[in-house]
Structure 1
Amino acid sequence: FTSNLTARLTFDGFRVMQLGCDPKHDSCNTIFGGYSLPTLGEQWRLFKEAGKEDQLAVGDVIFRNDLRPGVPIFGCELGGPEVGRGCGGQGISSGFKTLEGLGMSKWDLDYIVMDFLGDVVCGGFATPLARSLAEHVIIVVGHDRQSLYAANNIAKAAQYFRSMGGSTHVLGLVVNRDDGSDTADLYARAVGLPILARVPLSRPVRELADACKLALEEPPFAAL
């Protein structure tokens, strides 16, 4: 969903960066033609090992791809430690500190779309909420219990940080792979969040995603 959202904004003329906030570092694959970006964490470690971490620059961690000639989109993957070798949440938190040190708030961008995990029980993954780095949150859910449990954690975290003076606002839910069930609808009514859009369960869209291609190629999806 995130890659198609950022691509749509880009095609509409906005300058957009997609920021992957997940140790799996696979958020930007689709908008970069299946290419896996070097992560901020990997780049920082390379510079540190060379004794040059203070020379890390924006161009070392932010990458550009033209979706069409003259239509650039930007991407960054925060990444994290190797499997079993550290705290993923701490890697995310450190990544944000590095980006802020590189002047992220002053970059010439219309949108920074942060694609982050639903596991905000971990303080690191909750960084965009805890520090009001995200102005608005859209929660992508399915009709399954695990998805809705994670969605509820995000909503609760956002509410908590707002009560502590934060400014991040949850806009609502997007129901992904909607098969016509009503479980997500029941949840939305229970917590008072609107359903912003529904992405129907679609084999062609899934196959495009598996091939790291934009689902905007499918007219019904593009119409959303």
Structure 2
Amino acid sequence: MKIAVYGKGGIGKSTTSCNISVALAQRGKKVLQIGCDPKHDSTFTLTGSLIPTIIDTLQAKDYHYEDIWPEDVIYAGFNNVDCVEAGGPPAGAGCGGYVVGETVKLLKELNAFDEYDIILFDVLGDVVCGGFAAPLNYANYCIIVTDNGFDALFAANRIAASIREKSRTHNLKLAGIIGNRTSQRDLIDKYISHVPMPILEIVPLIEDIRISRIQGKTLFEMSKHNVNLRYVCNYYLNIADQIIAQPEGVVPKESQDRDLFNLLSNFYLTGEKNQLELNSL
């Protein structure tokens, strides 16, 4: 099974992806996480370092694929989750999507894909071009990470459009959305009433999740030394269980931008008006 994780930049995709990968491994699955971001820090909390990228390795070998072995590009992370970082071109030059394609090509030539139960692509930010939509060409499921905010839901809507487009030619479904750092979910609920899609989990705003990223550790690793964090791991184990069950998934029909703007803006305005009326009583 191949899963692509998308969402607005800075929403916490990499931290979420790493914890999901460990949760899947705890459930007995052999997992490979592929970071698809030029800044190559997707797997940081799994390995505790910035591992060499596919592009680094290809350049060092003068792009002779036959000279590359799995151990040159695949690094072991926490709880036996294997890690790959695609890397990317220098800022302002080249296409990151091309790098993703080269990464998949190399891993296929190494027969690496055949070694894993689940391959998870952690993809840079919003889908704004065909290049960074490339992992959807290989995925069975997409997961969207969002929060209860206006901008993140707009990004989620654009990703939904990409899923619908790719589903025309690929066996791709949206497994569902994850509300991350979300103490409230009113806008998420409003959005999915307009664009129906499953909710896999709502992860609250928990300071230890942010701290885990800074420390370069997953919540699972931190919980080994702090049992009070085990309840946080249960959010990711719940997501893992749903993935393993191979959800039916959906092909979403995204909202038009202006319709979504009006939907969310009017919801905010109505809510503020009601609050003002309550305060005046």
Scaled by the length of structure 2, the TM-score of the pair is: 0.71
Alignment correspondent of 1:151: 156
CA distance in structure 1 between the aligned counterparts of 2:96 and 2:210, rounded to whole angstroms: 27
Question: Could you tell me whether the CA contact under 8 Å between 2:65 and 2:106 is conserved in 1?
Answer: no
Paired residues for 1:139-218 under 5 Å: 139-163=144-168, 165-216=169-220, 217=223, 218=229
Alignment correspondent of 1:62: 74
Alignment correspondent of 1:97: 105
RMSD (Å) for aligned C-alpha atoms:
1.7
Give the CA deviation at 1:52: 4.1
Give the CA deviation at 1:109: 1.0
CA distance in structure 2 between the aligned counterparts of 1:62 and 1:103, rounded to whole angstroms: 12
CA distance in structure 1 between the aligned counterparts of 2:101 and 2:187, rounded to whole angstroms: 33
Residue 72 of structure 2 is aligned to residue 76 of structure 1: no
Give the CA deviation at 1:205: 1.9
Residue 236 of structure 2 is aligned to residue 222 of structure 1: no
CA distance in structure 2 between the aligned counterparts of 1:127 and 1:60, rounded to whole angstroms: 23
Alignment correspondent of 2:273: none
CA distance in structure 2 between the aligned counterparts of 1:134 and 1:53, rounded to whole angstroms: 24
Query: Identity percentage over the alignment?
Result: 34
Moved more, 76-85 or 180-189: 180-189
* Equivalent position SS for 2:142: strand
Give the CA deviation at 1:77: 0.5
Residue 116 of structure 2 is aligned to residue 109 of structure 1: yes
Residue by residue over 1:81-123, the C-alpha shift from the partner in whole angstroms, topping out at 9 and shown as x without a partner, is 12233222222222222222322432x2111111112432211
Scaled by the length of structure 1, the TM-score of the pair is: 0.88
CA distance in structure 1 between the aligned counterparts of 2:19 and 2:159, rounded to whole angstroms: 22
* Equivalent position SS for 1:223: helix
* Equivalent position SS for 1:160: helix
Total equivalences in the alignment:
213
The structure, 1 or 2, with the larger RCO (C-alpha pairs under 8 Å, 6+ apart) is 2
Question: Could you tell me whether the CA contact under 8 Å between 2:33 and 2:84 is conserved in 1?
Answer: yes
CA distance in structure 1 between the aligned counterparts of 2:148 and 2:196, rounded to whole angstroms: 17
CA distance in structure 1 between the aligned counterparts of 2:52 and 2:93, rounded to whole angstroms: 18
Structure 2 gaps of 5+ residues are 1-15, 224-228, 236-281
Give the CA deviation at 1:75: 0.3
CA distance in structure 1 between the aligned counterparts of 2:148 and 2:206, rounded to whole angstroms: 15
